[in-house]
Amino acid sequence: MKLSPSVSICHTDTGLEFININSSHCDAKIFLQGGQITEFTPKGKQPLLWVSQEETFQENASIRGGIPICWPWFGAHDNSDFPAHGFARTSLWQADEVHETEYEVIVSLKLPMKLVNLDYWPHQSSLRVEFVLNEQLQVRLTTTNLSNTPFSFSQALHTYFPTSDINNTSVDGLQGAQYTEFGEAPVMQSDVVSFARETDMVYTQAAPVQTINTPEGIISVGRENSSSCVLWNPWIEKSKRLSNFANTEYNNMLCLEAANVLNDAVTLAPKQSHTLITIIKWLS
């Protein structure tokens, strides 16, 4: 991979390798483990991604924050021995390409499928993630079916957003969508979503753009090739059970995840590709 002037390779104290971007438009960090971006800060603005202060950046473990890649299944697998949210978020990805212009930096990674356990994923496929970084962040996750038979998968870009006060934070733009929560019957969202308890809402038929209203400003969260998304905050009791998560950090984060889940899961025909896209930016 040929680097550009704004891009360098760095390592954490624990040895994890990441791509560091310091361009005229933004600062960012992209880890090869998990193909996971953990920092995106437009110049002159607040960070758009949150990472737990308890994160220890260990090998073979998903990083608590940024945008973990949940693939090729979201949530628990039918086989309880399989890892939750798939294997992509803990696998070691390969840096593929860096391209920089005066307008943006593009970083592409690919998952080495030859190293994937065939018990988890017996299909011939490729997986690539592309980060387009300027004043906004675009993440493009592309799955290609290289075989002669179709396969199905679900996925999510599990984006952690920051807020200084979850009690004064709300999400607009989900009105009219259906959600399920904790396995209960579907409900239609009728109003702006605020937070006063554990939230784990899986939405379908969702509009392509939502906004997160925080004390620091308004964040726009867009999706393409996706009509489903997930809204999550662990609240008080679940925070105590989470790894790499301080007991009170639920006050300072929420997840709003671009997804293909439930009836929005993807069945991919032979030789075809599907790209899940999320676009995040500050509106104010």
The answer to whether residue 149 is domain-embedded is yes
The answer to whether residue 67 is domain-embedded is yes
Q: Would you call 99 a catalytic residue per the annotation? A: no
Q: How many domains does the chain have?
A: 1
- Residues forming beta bridges with residue 103, ordered by sequence position: none
Q: Would you call 274 a catalytic residue per the annotation? A: no
The answer to whether residue 190 is domain-embedded is no
The answer to whether residue 199 is domain-embedded is no
> pLDDT (tens digit, 9 = 90+) per residue, 227-247?
999 999 999 999 999 999 999
The confidence score (pLDDT) of residue 60 equals 92
Residue 166 tokens read as 């979850």
The answer to whether residue 179 is domain-embedded is no
Sheet holding 193-194, edge to edge: 94-100, 105-110, 125-133, 137-145, 273-282, 217-224, 209-214, 170-172, 193-194
Task: Pick the more confident residue, 78 or 253.
Answer: 253
> pLDDT (tens digit, 9 = 90+) per residue, 129-171?
999 999 999 999 999 999 999 999 999 999 999 999 999 999 9
Confidence of residue 173 (pLDDT cuts 50, 70, 90): very high
Average pLDDT, the chain: 96
CA distances from 271 to 34, 73, 274 (A): 25, 20, 10
> Shortest CA distance to 127 belongs to which of 70, 85, 179, 178?
70
Sequence-separated (6 or more) residues with CB below 8 Å from residue 170: 192, 193, 194, 195, 212, 213
Find how far residue 12's CA is from the centre of its chain.
21
Whole-angstrom Cα distance, residue 207 to residue 8? 37
CATH number at residue 237: 2.70.98.10
Distance between first and last Cα of the chain: 36
The answer to whether residue 162 is domain-embedded is yes
Is the pLDDT reported for residue 3 higher than 90?
A: no
- DSSP H or E run through 239: helix 235-239
- For CA atoms 158, 27, 274, 187, the dihedral sign is positive
Please compute the mean of the pLDDT values over residues 2-20 and round it to a whole number. 92
Look at the block and give the residue holding tokens 């356990």: 117
Confidence of residue 1 (pLDDT cuts 50, 70, 90): low
Which one of the listed residues 85, 123, 257, 274 is annotated catalytic?
257
Which domain range does residue 257 map to? 7-171+210-282
Whole-angstrom Cα distance, residue 138 to residue 38? 14
Confidence of residue 23 (pLDDT cuts 50, 70, 90): very high
Confidence of residue 2 (pLDDT cuts 50, 70, 90): confident
The confidence score (pLDDT) of residue 10 equals 96
> pLDDT (tens digit, 9 = 90+) per residue, 87-119?
999 999 999 999 999 999 999 999 999 999 999
The answer to whether residue 104 is domain-embedded is yes
> pLDDT (tens digit, 9 = 90+) per residue, 32-69?
999 999 999 999 999 999 999 999 999 999 999 999 99
The answer to whether residue 176 is domain-embedded is no
Which one of the listed residues 39, 85, 130, 158 is annotated catalytic?
158
The percentage of the chain sitting over the pLDDT mark of 70, rounded to a whole number, equals 100
| Residue 233, φ and ψ in degrees, nearest 5 | -150, 125
| Residue 40, φ and ψ in degrees, nearest 5 | -150, 110
Is the pLDDT reported for residue 203 higher than 90?
A: yes
